[in-house]
């Protein structure tokens, strides 16, 4: 499942740079995770990098976003495919099928 940032976030910025999927960005008041891009770091690392650095431990798993390891790996591969297409100069925007 994707992770979610709770309102305990103190906007320290530490997690944003750690995310290998560019899933974290500043929201209206606190940082947010795009569940379409969060793979729990599957494909990149053995553990969620955002949770590793968060000083207030405010990044739990989102129970409303249950995903199997295979689904997380599929998401990782989709993101890798998009990154590859962009690196090749394609400017097409990714289309969500969900």
Residues that bind ligand SF4 (CB under 6 A): 3, 5, 9-15, 18-19, 21, 23-24, 31, 33, 38-41, 48-50, 53-54, 56, 58-59
Which DSSP state fits 43? T
Residue closer to ligand SF4 by CB (options 31, 67) is 31
The rounded distance, in Å, linking the Cα atoms of 96 and 98 is 5
Given a contact cutoff of 8 angstroms between Cβ atoms, the answer to whether 58 and 21 are in contact is: no
> Among all chains, which residue has been given the structure tokens 């090749």?
88
Nearest distance from residue 89's CB to ligand SF4, in Å?
25
CB 84, min distance to ligand SF4, A: 18
CB neighbourhood size of 69 (10 A): 10
Q: Give whichever of 22 and 84 is closer to ligand SF4, judged by the CB atom.
A: 22
């Amino acid at each position: 499942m994707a992770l979610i940032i709770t309102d305990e976030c103190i906007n320290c910025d530490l997690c944003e740079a750690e995310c290998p999927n560019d899933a974290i960005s500043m929201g209206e008041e606190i940082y947010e995770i795009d569940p379409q891009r969060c793979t729990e770091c599957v494909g990149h690392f053995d553990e969620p990098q955002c949770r590793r650095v968060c000083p207030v431990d405010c990044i739990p798993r989102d129970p409303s976003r249950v995903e199997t390891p295979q689904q997380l790996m599929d998401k990782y591969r989709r993101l890798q495919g998009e990154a590859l297409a962009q690196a090749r100069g394609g400017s097409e925007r990714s289309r969500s099928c969900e």
